[in-house]
Amino acid sequence: MSKDNLSKEQEIMLVMRKTLTHIIRDTTPEPGMKGPFSDAVVEDIKMCLRLISLREKELLSEKGVENTERPHYVDEPRTSDVVHFIPKK
Q: Where are the domains of the chain?
A: 38-65
pLDDT of residue 57 exceeding 60, the answer is: yes
As a whole number of angstroms, the distance between CA 37 and CA 34 comes to 9
Q: Which residue has the higher pLDDT, 15 or 78?
A: 15
Q: What is residue 79's DSSP assignment?
A: S
Q: CA torsion 7→22→74→50, rounded to 10°?
A: -60
pLDDT band, residue 20 (cuts 50/70/90): very high
For the entire predicted model, the pTM comes to 0.67
Closest CA to 45 of 19, 6, 69: 19
Q: Rounded mean pLDDT of 66-70?
A: 72
User: What pLDDT was estimated at residue 32?
Assistant: 92
User: What pLDDT was estimated at residue 5?
Assistant: 76
